[in-house]
């Protein structure tokens, strides 16, 4: 695993901008859940750990809902 993201669902509006820019296609809008504000939240679905931590999703998010974590390079 090179990276992963967390989504603050209290901020996410389900706009799908992040899902469109992810080069690994590991973000998806939930089909089952709603946020407290009534939006469908984005989820990270990355069972094989292909997220690179590229930060494209966090950069495009207008709500600053995404935090990206990157694995530290081996010393």
Q: List residues near ligand SF4 by CB under 6 A.
A: 3, 5, 7, 12-18, 21-24, 26-27, 42, 51-57, 60-61, 63, 65-66, 68
CB of 11 to ligand SF4, least distance (A): 7
Q: Which residue has the tokens 């820019």?
A: 21
- How many Å apart are CA 50 and CA 10, to the nearest integer? 26
Query: CB of residue 6 vs ligand SF4: minimum separation in angstroms?
Result: 10
Token pair belonging to 44 = 């990270």
Nearer to ligand SF4, 56 or 74 (CB): 56
C-alpha 63, offset from chain centre: 12
């Amino acid at each position: 695993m090179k990276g992963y993201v967390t989504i603050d669902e209290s901020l996410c509006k389900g706009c799908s901008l992040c899902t469109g820019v992810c080069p690994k296609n590991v973000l998806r809008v939930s089909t089952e859940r709603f946020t407290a504000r009534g939006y469908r939240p984005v989820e990270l679905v990355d069972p094989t750990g292909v997220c690179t931590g590229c930060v494209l999703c966090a950069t495009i998010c207008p709500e600053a809902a995404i935090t990206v974590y990157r694995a530290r390079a081996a010393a």
